Structure 1
Amino acid sequence: MLITFKIIDKSQIETVIPLVEKLNDHKISHEILKMRFEDMISQNYECAVVYDNDILIGVCGLWYSTRHYSGKSVEVDHVYIEDGYRNKGIGQQFFKWIYNYVQLKGCESVELNTYVSNHLSHKFYFNEGFQILGYHFLKKL
């Protein structure tokens, strides 16, 4: 097993869609995800990935902004590691790589949202030192 982390080129964004489909339990169609990712790459967004040799096993979106309460920050989004690679320390390594990468870009903080029902992720994020700051609300229009 040779685990590597990197930012993928925007031209390769479609390669992450199968992992994001799994994260969303296939509730969002491939076509809609493709359109959304094509739009996302034109914004303050980068996509970090995890490979085992040449097999894509993990993904995480990075959204950059400056906020009055946290300074220059990155919001990690749609974090997913393939089932067979979980509980092997890869998530911790991935986040360590992300912290180092975004600090080099001048980020002062890392933020994230996680689904309320995803209890395993809550434990992981608490272990990473994240604290609950507030609630994330969503209203579909």
Structure 2
Amino acid sequence: MNLSFKIIDKKNINSIIPLIQKLTNNANSSDLLIERFAVMVNENYECAGVFDDNKLIGVCGMWFQTRHYCGKSMEVDHVYIEEAYQSKGIGKQFFKWLYNYALSKGCTTSELNTYVQNYPSHKFYYNEGFEIFGYHFYKTL
């Protein structure tokens, strides 16, 4: 493996859609994701990729904001690594890179949400030092 980690340029954001669809079991169409990512890249959103040579094998969205309870923060979103590359320590390497990137942007904390049923991610995030701080509620309007 020849791994690298880098920010995905806004003009190439749609390259992440196949991985996002794997993460979400195709919950949203490609057209809807194209529309949403076109908006997101013009907000406080960035996306990092894990590459094996030039092949995109993992993604992590990042939202940057300042919150009253924790200061400047990077919220990690839609983390996914291709199944064939999982359980090889890549996630740990990727998060180390993400933390350094967040620090370079002046962040002092990192936050995330994870699906309740995604038990493997819970173990990973606990091992990364994340703690449960609250519950994330969702309502369709």
Report TM bin, short chain: over 0.9
Identity, % of aligned pairs? 61
Render the CA deviation track for 1:17-64: whole Å, top value 9, x for unaligned: 000001110111111111000010010011100000011000000100
Q: Tell me the SS of whatever aligns to 1:91.
A: helix
Find the aligned partners of 2:2 and 2:140 in 1 and give their Cα distance.
41
Counterpart residue number, 1:18: 18
Render the CA deviation track for 1:44-102: whole Å, top value 9, x for unaligned: 01110000001100000010000011100010000000000000000000000000011
Letter in 2 for 1:97: W
The runs of at least 4 aligned residues of structure 1 exceeding 4 Å deviation read: none
Counterpart residue number, 2:73: 73
Counterpart residue number, 1:125: 125
Letter in 1 for 2:50: V
Runs (5+) with no aligned partner, structure 2: none
Letter in 2 for 1:135: Y
Runs (5+) with no aligned partner, structure 1: none
Counterpart residue number, 1:139: 139
Q: Tell me the SS of whatever aligns to 1:101.
A: helix
1:83 and 2:45 are equivalent in the alignment: no
Letter in 2 for 1:31: D
Letter in 1 for 2:21: E
Find the aligned partners of 1:38 and 1:49 in 2 and give their Cα distance.
17
Q: Tell me the SS of whatever aligns to 2:63.
A: strand
Counterpart residue number, 2:36: 36
Counterpart residue number, 1:115: 115
Q: Tell me the SS of whatever aligns to 1:51.
A: strand
Q: Tell me the SS of whatever aligns to 1:115.
A: coil
Find the aligned partners of 1:33 and 1:23 in 2 and give their Cα distance.
13
The number of equivalent residue pairs is: 141
Deviation at 1:115, TM superposition (A): 0.3
TM-score, with structure 2 as normaliser: 0.99
Find the aligned partners of 1:49 and 1:75 in 2 and give their Cα distance.
16
Q: Tell me the SS of whatever aligns to 1:6.
A: strand
Find the aligned partners of 1:82 and 1:20 in 2 and give their Cα distance.
10
Counterpart residue number, 1:101: 101
Q: Tell me the SS of whatever aligns to 1:99.
A: helix
1:92 and 2:92 are equivalent in the alignment: yes
